Amino acid sequence: MIENHRLTSARQFPSPNQSRRPVGMEIDLLVIHNISLPPQQYGGGWIDDLFGNRLDPEAHPYFAGIADLRVSAHLLIDREGRVTQYVPFDCKAWHAGESCFRDRVNCNEFSIGIELEGCDEEAFTERQYAVLSEVTRELMAAYPGITPDRITGHSDIAPGRKTDPGPCFDWQHFRRCAGFDELES
């Protein structure tokens, strides 16, 4: 359930990396990402640290190059299907960067970003697909501008710059789990 622009079932971990959306801006895009810190490693709380601007650059060699990034997402779905919310949906999370969807630039202005704990080289878990599908249906109910054809990957809005959610994300499986095939029948 979404109340006051927050997913009530999610653990709340506010990120400072957010800003106000333009007045009157309709939320009408959902962007799927993947993240793992360090790459291809799961758990450990490093994503919270990155989105909370407290990632220790000395904790892992990879972190030295990203510790100063100021990024966030609205939600993270970890490998077990647990959901963390970093930014309320009525605010901009800093997830898309330089981006364009159907000739509209700066997708952060009008989108919700969901990170799946994972990487381009490994399959996502069934639990992640189930939770992503449930959360997507809830977002579509709360923000009717998000329709099945307005759900995209980071790679689609930032081609050549981003690859996520990656080739291991099964779009057809996600669409079936979310019930989009039924909507199109």
Rounded alpha-carbon distances, angstroms, from residue 117 to 21, 44, 45, 144: 26, 12, 11, 26
Neighbouring residues of 94: CB distance < 8 A, sequence distance ≥ 6: 17, 18, 19, 70, 71, 72, 108
Phi, then psi, of 118 in degrees rounded to 5 = 170, -165
Phi, then psi, of 177 in degrees rounded to 5 = -60, -40
Point out the catalytic residue in the list 58, 80, 115, 126.
115
Closest CA to 85 of 146, 1, 144: 1
Residue 147 token pair:
């329709």
Cα–Cα distance measured from residue 67 to residue 57, given in angstroms and rounded to the nearest whole number: 6
Q: Is 77 exposed, middle or buried (0-12, 13-18, 19+ CB in 10 A)?
A: buried
Specify whether 115 is catalytic: yes
Q: Do 94 and 71 touch, CB atoms closer than 8 A?
A: yes
Q: Which residues are catalytic?
A: 115
